[in-house]
Amino acid sequence: MASLPIDTSKFTAIFCAVPPAPRVANRETGQVRVDRETGQTVFQVGLCLMSGATAEVVNVSVAGEPRGVQLGMPVQVRDLLATPWENDGRHGVAFRAAEIKPLSAAPSSGSTATKGGAQ
């Protein structure tokens, strides 16, 4: 299934709800998931996406450690994608971002980072 881009500028705030942690590929061995393209460890971050009076916490994967991202801090997310999946009768949506940074951090050169958060 195709990935769907999410316009993060529509959210009134985006906060870190669960600090970054490496994603585990094999629970028995503890082997961490590695991005196929970059070879970097894939991290998972729980983000609280707020829109008006509603909020949703989603787990977002990102290649490489999101440095400086801590619990409760506002963050900026670049290139957030939602990918529907189905496996053995189970289904859901996987979220992935190109980058997650503290809101106060300068975006990477050449990026079009979208900021979310109270200003």
pLDDT (tens digit per residue) in 31-85: 999 999 999 999 999 999 999 999 999 999 999 999 999 999 999 999 999 999 9
Q: For residue 111, is pLDDT > 80? A: no
Class of domain 4-105: mainly beta
pLDDT value, residue 104: 81
Adjacent-strand bridge partners of 86: 91
113 pLDDT band, cuts 50/70/90, is: very low
DSSP string, 79-119: S-EEEEEEETTEEEEEEE-SEEEETTSPPPTT--PEE-S--
The residue ranges of every structural domain in the chain are 4-105
18 pLDDT band, cuts 50/70/90, is: very high
pLDDT at residue number 119: 36
**CA distances to 12, 55, 57, 90, 95 from 80, in Å:** 16, 17, 14, 23, 7
Is 66 in contact with 101 (CB distance < 8 Å)?
A: yes
pTM, full prediction = 0.82
Separation of alpha carbons 71 and 46, rounded Å: 9
Q: Do 19 and 71 form a contact (C-beta atoms < 8 A)?
A: yes
